[in-house]
């Protein structure tokens, strides 16, 4: 036996990174970097449904979250925040342009939303998408404990499931699509349709907002890569016989938390102040959206404009508040949309406003949750009119805040939310005449009937909240693995 070198026992080993039984991967980390008044940098939790949902599953077991910190350049070191281990993934400015603004939001987003605007195809965007997805997968592989559950989010990371499987065949991989999955006729336009499907098939379980989305995915696998499929599952084409499950698990909101916030006396006071500051209108209508061409803001404004022009509605009795959160401001289609919406608002106010009472109050800001809750409570009619939307959480947030059973929800048939909230005042936003009639019906329906509708809508959201969504997803992921050596 070789003599051991002196001091061998005391040679320090390089510490391995800590690993976690649950790893989330999402395009963004759940925090934003803020610079305080003293010039110090700190991280603040970005409030959002996904963060709340993950709180509910991470309080029993510590988890890690892999994502981009939101600014180009080298990433900050890993750190812990509110009991979650955050693993920043770095993106160069060029990658932000090609992977995020380009492939994710200029190629995939339009194709997955019915090509409301034309999609752009660029090979260098696709190359960047692949590289960035590989980097996310490497970060996941490094922090996942043996046999961990890995939950990948959304359309920006569709190749991550297969990359992770190659690096870490021991982990269990789930992916959830927050946006629609398009019909095969549209998906087939993508020059990289095969690799995208193969990327997703690296998962054990794929979750979608609607059954129709899961069906579209299964059909795309059958028609475009000739995979063997059954209702709700696809057999991968690598000859292993492994089956991947695909099912609908619709996302929701934190019903209890948001309702408690809406009941706060400060929110009630703010709600009254909002109505007063708008001149105490008899009827307040509200739209709240990211400024995105999928949200049907132009169609909504057109219907409203015609109702005003026909004298069926008008200020000072009636007003519309349209809150439009700034979004993807470096993408051309979003710049055009903003210019168009702002011009239309200007025209409506110029033609149809009265002194001191604009017909539309347009706000291009992001607001804290308290302000949103106050706005929802103040609104007599909530207009949710997307042309296509995976779910639309605004619809669910509105009914959550209406514990008084007041208000009326106008909801587009083309949202995932409509499949759960079909008692709402349904509309097809492409049909401007029909949309006008629906708005008038939402206004004119007697209060007792509106209360009955609101009670039914609230019951649905209360029973299917975001905590239940996360628990259902993870239960489906645990049940999913279907390896030939273990499976039937
Ligand atoms: P989004 O397209 O961003 O999400 P949505 O579901 O409506 O759409 O969620 C927007 C969120 O931002 C809501 O929580 C809303 O309250 C908030 N918000 C909007 N405007 C705001 C403002 N001015 N200030 C502060 N907050 C504001 C994607 C899909 C959706 C899917 C979600 C979740 O496109 O279809 O419902 O993911 O899966």
Nearest CA-CA partner of 248 in 479, 472, 426, 482: 472
Same domain flag for 168 and 194: yes
Tell whether 348 and 276 lie within a shared domain. Answer: yes
When mean pLDDT is compared across 40-44, 272-276, 363-367, 464-468, the lowest value belongs to 40-44
Share of the chain above pLDDT 70, in %: 95
Do residues 54 and 161 both lie within one domain?
Answer: yes
- Least Cα distance to 325 among 381, 264, 394 occurs for 394
Asked whether residue 316 is assigned to any structural domain, the reply reads yes
Is there a domain that residue 9 lies in? no
For residues 165 and 303, membership in a common domain is answered with no
Kindly list the strands in the beta sheet with 360-363, ordered across the sheet, starting from the edge strand earlier in the chain.
360-363, 318-325, 283-290, 381-384, 408-412, 425-427
Tokens describing residue 407 = 């208000």
Cβ atoms of 461 and 396 closer than 8 Å? yes
- pLDDT tens-digit series, residues 166-213: 999 999 999 999 999 999 999 999 999 999 999 999 999 999 999 999
Which of the two residues, 240 and 378, has the higher pLDDT score? 378
Distance in angstroms (rounded) separating the CA atoms of residues 383 and 396: 12
CATH of the domain at 355: 3.40.50.2000
Residue 208 burial class via C-beta count within 10 angstroms: exposed 0-12, middle 13-18, buried 19 and up: buried
Distance 243 CA to ligand 1 centre (A): 33
Q: Let me know if residue 488 belongs to a domain.
A: no
Nearest CA to ligand 1 atom 37: 178
Assigned token pair, 173: 């991989």
- What separation in Å is there between the alpha carbon of 64 and the centre of ligand 1? 24
Within 6 Å (CB) of ligand 1, which residues are found? 49, 178-179, 251, 288, 290, 323, 325, 365-367, 372, 389-394, 397
Assign 1 a pLDDT band (cuts: 50, 70, 90).
Answer: very low
C-alpha–C-alpha distance, residues 75 and 14, integer Å: 22
If asked whether residues 106 and 148 sit together in one domain, one would say: yes
Q: What is the per-residue pLDDT for 485?
A: 46
**Contact at 8 Å (CB) between 317 and 323?**
no
Ligand 1 pocket, mutate which of 334, 391, 396 (most atoms under 8 A from CB): 391
Integer Cα distance of 409 and 425 in angstroms: 6
Average pLDDT over residues 113-138: 97
Pair 80, 207 in one domain: yes
Global pTM reads 0.94
Average pLDDT, the chain: 93
Cα(143) to centroid(ligand 1), Å: 29
- 179, 255, 394: which to mutate for ligand 1, most atoms within 8 A of CB? 394
The residue range of the domain holding 47 is 20-251+469-478
Note the pLDDT of residue 9. Answer: 55
CA distance 88 to 443: 48
Does any domain span residue 206? yes
What's the whole-number mean pLDDT along residues 425-451?
98
Least confident of 40-49, 215-224, 427-436, 464-473: 40-49
Residues 452, 473 within the same domain: no
pLDDT at 10 over 60: no
Give 238-267 pLDDT, tens digit per residue: 888 999 999 999 999 999 999 999 999 999
**pLDDT confidence of 483, banded at 50, 70, 90?**
low
- Structure tokens that stand for 120 in this block: 């752009």
Residues 315 and 334 both lie in one domain: yes
C-alpha angle 258/259/260, rounded to 5°? 90
* 406 is a domain residue: yes
pLDDT per residue over 463-480, tens digit each? 999 999 999 999 999 998
Dihedral (Cα; 248, 369, 412, 322), 10-degree rounding: -160
pLDDT at 488: 37
Mean pLDDT score, 278-291: 96
For 42-91, the pLDDT digits (tens) are 888 876 667 777 877 777 778 999 999 999 999 999 999 888 999 999 99
For a mutational test of ligand 1's pocket, the pick from 30, 251, 392, 419, i.e. the residue with the most ligand atoms closer than 8 A to its C-beta, is 392
Looking at the structure, tell me whether residues 284 and 360 fall in a common domain. yes
Separation of CA 290 and ligand 1 centre (Å):
6
**Closest to 286 in 3D by CA, of 422, 369, 378:** 378
Asked if residue 487 has pLDDT above 70, the reply is: no
Residue 339: inside a domain, yes or no?
A: yes
| 484 located within any domain | no
How many structural domains are present in the chain?
2
Task: Indicate whether 143 and 291 sit together in one domain.
Answer: no
Q: Are residues 213 and 341 in the same domain?
A: no
The closest of 213, 196, 202 to 175, measured between CA atoms, is 202
Together in a domain, 272 and 244: no
β-strands 381-384, 283-290 pairing: parallel
Instruction: Please state, in angstroms and rounded to a whole number, the distance separating the CA atoms of residues 313 and 181.
Output: 38
Strand pairing report for 84-89 and 31-35: unpaired
Alpha carbon of 190 to ligand 1 centroid (Å): 26
What is the phi/psi pair of residue 53, to 5°? Answer: -60, -40
The residue length of the chain stands at 488
Distance 391 CA to ligand 1 centre (A): 9
Going from the Cα of 416 to the center of ligand 1, the distance in angstroms, rounded, reads: 13
In a domain, 346, yes or no: yes
What integer pLDDT is reported at residue 486 of this predicted model? 41
14 pLDDT tier (thresholds 50, 70, 90): low
């Amino acid at each position: 036996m070789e003599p051991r070198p002196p001091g061998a026992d005391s040679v320090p080993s390089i510490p391995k990174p800590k690993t976690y039984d649950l790893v989330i991967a999402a395009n963004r980390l759940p925090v934003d970097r803020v610079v305080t008044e003293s010039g110090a940098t700190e991280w603040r939790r970005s409030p959002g449904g996904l963060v709340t949902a993950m709180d509910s599953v991470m309080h029993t077991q510590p988890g890690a979250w892999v994502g981009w910190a939101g600014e180009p350049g080298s990433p900050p070191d890993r750190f812990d925040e509110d009991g979650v281990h955050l693993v920043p993934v770095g993106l160069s400015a060029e990658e932000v342009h090609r992977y995020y603004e380009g492939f994710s939001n200029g190629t995939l987003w339009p194709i997955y939303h019915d090509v409301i605007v034309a999609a752009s195809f660029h090979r260098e965007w696709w190359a960047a998408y692949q590289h960035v997805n590989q980097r996310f997968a490497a970060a996941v592989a490094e922090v996942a404990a043996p046999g961990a559950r890995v939950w990948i989010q959304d359309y920006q990371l569709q190749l991550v499931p297969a990359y992770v499987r190659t690096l870490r065949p021991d982990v269990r991989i789930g992916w959830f699509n927050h946006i629609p999955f398009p019909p095969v006729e549209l998906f087939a336009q993508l020059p990289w349709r095969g690799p995208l499907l193969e990327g997703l098939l690296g998962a054990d379980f794929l979750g979608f907002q609607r059954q129709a989305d899961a069906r579209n995915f299964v059909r795309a696998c059958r028609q475009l890569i000739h995979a063997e499929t059954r209702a709700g599952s696809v057999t991968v084409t690598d000859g292993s016989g492994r089956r991947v499950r695909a099912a609908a698990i619709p996302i929701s909101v934190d019903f209890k938390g948001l309702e408690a916030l809406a009941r706060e006396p400060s929110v009630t006071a703010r709600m009254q102040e909002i109505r007063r500051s708008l001149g105490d209108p008899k009827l307040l209508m509200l739209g709240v959206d990211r400024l995105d061409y999928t949200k049907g803001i132009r169609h909504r404004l057109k219907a409203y404009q015609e109702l005003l022009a026909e004298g069926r509605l008008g200020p000072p009795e009636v007003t519309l508040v349209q809150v439009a959160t700034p979004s993807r401001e470096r993408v051309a289609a979003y710049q055009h949309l903003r210019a168009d919406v702002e011009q239309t608002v200007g025209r409506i106010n110029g033609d149809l406003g009265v002194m001191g009472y604009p017909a539309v109050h347009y706000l291009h800001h992001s607001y804290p949750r308290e302000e949103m809750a106050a706005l929802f409570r103040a609104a007599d009619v909530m207009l949710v009119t997307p042309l296509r939307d995976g779910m639309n959480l605004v619809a669910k947030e509105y009914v959550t805040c209406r514990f008084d059973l007041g208000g009326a929800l106008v909801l587009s048939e083309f949202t995932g939310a409509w499949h759960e909230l079909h008692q709402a005042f349904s509309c097809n936003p492409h049909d401007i005449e029909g949309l006008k009639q629906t708005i008038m019906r939402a206004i004119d329906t007697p209060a007792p009937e509106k209360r009955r509708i609101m009670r039914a809508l609230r019951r649905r959201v209360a029973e299917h909240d975001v905590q239940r969504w996360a628990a259902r997803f993870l239960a489906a992921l645990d049940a999913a693995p279907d390896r030939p050596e273990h499976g039937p």
